[in-house]
């Protein structure tokens, strides 16, 4: 992707873009941590603050962004704590969304009550997400996150020549392993998901969690929004998932047939993550943020990581009471 649009996004242009919504910026501007898009906290003359998100040109179509925003508003209208945009519009070459600022802290996932609380709200998100499918947003599948990512990486020069054979072999074996996991799971239902429900996208307050950044919302298995809350050994993850599902299943049924997908979904994320960085390497923010990507050590570590995942996908699914 050509980085030129973001290179021209000066502070003055950010303020002009926010002013185009009808709001009145007061000059306060803070760049927030975001690689995929550009995100800024912008002060307003009425002492308010908004968060302005400038979508990466070319990543999503207009219709796909509209569908993301409609889903966020659908959830917010049902009093599910998802931060939905207040403004959504095109300005020059950018698609922009403005959000209210919402603070919070990192949730304490070692607390079973916190896991159940988060699970309740994910269950509510999924109860809405299951009502109807997305029409135009992408789906999370072995093809989109696995095979296409692998094919793209093989078309680049990022993988060192002396590691290319090993990487090709391990990714081929990993993709075969995750296909077996999908076969073992059977015909599980795809629903509308948050899509990237990791701890960084869940902010905690005394009133509980709220969810931000539906930029990766897509169709996929419900487990995609649950597995990133789990960590540690099998016993620890089983206990954590038990607590999450205790809350989740107050609002939505969880199909236990999805459990063989847990390590498969993790494997897909690992392969997709490398392709995501490679696709964005033209953006100067990426070499600065990920200097280790273009190194021998990075690809050695990915080969070892995928070998571990191949072994994990051969194990029995987690048992959840």
pLDDT per residue rounded down to tens, the chain (321 residues): 444 678 889 999 999 999 999 999 999 999 998 889 999 999 999 989 999 999 999 999 999 999 999 999 999 999 999 999 999 999 999 999 999 998 889 999 999 999 999 999 999 999 999 999 999 999 999 999 999 999 999 999 999 999 999 999 999 999 999 999 999 999 999 999 999 999 999 999 988 999 999 999 999 999 999 999 999 999 999 999 999 999 999 999 999 999 999 999 999 999 999 999 999 999 999 999 999 999 999 999 999 999 999 999 999 999 987
Taking alpha carbons only, the member of 74, 75, 11, 98 closest to residue 211 is 75
Residue 48 CA to residue 28 CA, distance in Å, equals: 11
Asked if 213 is an active-site residue, the reply is yes
Where are the domains positioned within the chain?
Answer: 4-100, 112-314
**Same-fold call for 4-100 versus 112-314:** no
**Cβ contacts of 315 within 8 Å, gap of 6 or more:** 234, 263
Torsion angle, CA of 130/134/138/144, rounded to 10 degrees?
A: 40
For tokens 């996929």, the residue is 220
Annotated active-site residue in 162, 206, 213, 216 = 213
The CATH classification number of 4-100 equals 3.30.200.20
Give the CATH superfamily of 112-314: Transferase(Phosphotransferase) domain 1 (1.10.510.10)
CA distance 103 to 148: 36
Strands of 49-54's sheet, edge to edge? 25-32, 38-44, 49-54, 94-100, 87-91
Q: What is the pTM of this model?
A: 0.94
Whether 175 and 156 have beta carbons less than 8 Å apart is answered as no
**Please, are residues 71 and 97 in contact by the beta-carbon 8 Å criterion?**
no
DSSP structure class, residue 47: S
Q: Catalytic: which of 16, 26, 162, 196?
A: 196
Q: Which residues, 6 or more positions from 181, have their beta carbon under 8 angstroms from its beta carbon?
A: 260, 261, 263, 264, 313
Nearest to 174 by CA among 312, 282, 47, 70: 312
So what's the pLDDT on residue 274?
98
Structure tokens at 50: 């908004």
Helix (H) or strand (E) holding 66: helix 62-77
215 three-state secondary structure: coil
Neighbours of 101 (CB within 10 A): 13
Provide DSSP, 146-161.
Answer: IIHHHHHHHTSS-S-H
DSSP class of residue 2?
-
pLDDT of 4 reads 63
| CA 113 to chain CA mean position, Å | 24
Q: What is the DSSP letter of 83?
A: -
- Identify each DSSP E strand in the chain by its residue range: 25-32, 38-44, 49-54, 87-91, 94-100, 191-193, 202-205, 208-211, 218-220
Q: Is 162 a catalytic residue?
A: no
- pLDDT for residue 103: 85
């Amino acid at each position: 992707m050509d980085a030129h649009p973001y290179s021209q996004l000066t502070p003055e242009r950010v303020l002009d873009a926010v002013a185009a919504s009808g709001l009145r910026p007061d000059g306060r501007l803070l760049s927030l941590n975001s690689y995929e898009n550009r995100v800024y906290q912008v002060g307003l003359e009425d002492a308010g603050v908004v968060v302005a998100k400038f979508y990466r040109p070319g990543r999503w179509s207009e219709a796909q962004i509209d569908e993301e925003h409609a889903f966020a508003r659908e959830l917010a209208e049902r009093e599910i704590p998802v931060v939905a945009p207040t403004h959504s519009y095109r300005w020059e070459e950018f698609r922009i969304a403005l959000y209210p600022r919402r603070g919070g802290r990192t949730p304490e996932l070692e607390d079973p009550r916190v896991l159940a609380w988060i699970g309740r709200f994910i269950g509510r998100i999924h109860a809405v997400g299951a009502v109807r499918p997305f029409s135009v947003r992408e789906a999370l599948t072995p093809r989109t996150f696995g095979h296409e990512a692998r094919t793209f990486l093989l078309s680049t020069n990022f993988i060192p020549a002396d590691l290319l054979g090993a990487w090709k072999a391990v990714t081929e074996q990993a993709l075969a392993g995750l296909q077996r996991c999908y076969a073992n799971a059977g015909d599980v239902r795809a629903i509308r998901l948050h899509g990237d429900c990791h701890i960084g996208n869940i902010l905690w307050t005394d009133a509980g969690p709220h969810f931000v950044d539906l930029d990766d919302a897509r169709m996929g298995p419900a487990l995609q929004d649950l597995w990133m809350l789990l960590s540690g050994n099998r016993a620890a993850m089983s206990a954590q998932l038990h607590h999450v599902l205790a809350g989740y299943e107050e609002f939505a049924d969880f199909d236990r047939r999805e459990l063989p997908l847990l390590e498969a979904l993790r494997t897909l994320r690992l392969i997709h993550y490398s392709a995501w960085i490679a696709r964005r390497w033209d953006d100067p923010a990426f070499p600065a943020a990920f200097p280790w990507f273009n190194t021998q050590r990075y690809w050695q570590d990915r080969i070892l990581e995928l070998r571990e995942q191949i072994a994990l996908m051969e194990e029995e699914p987690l048992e959840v009471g």
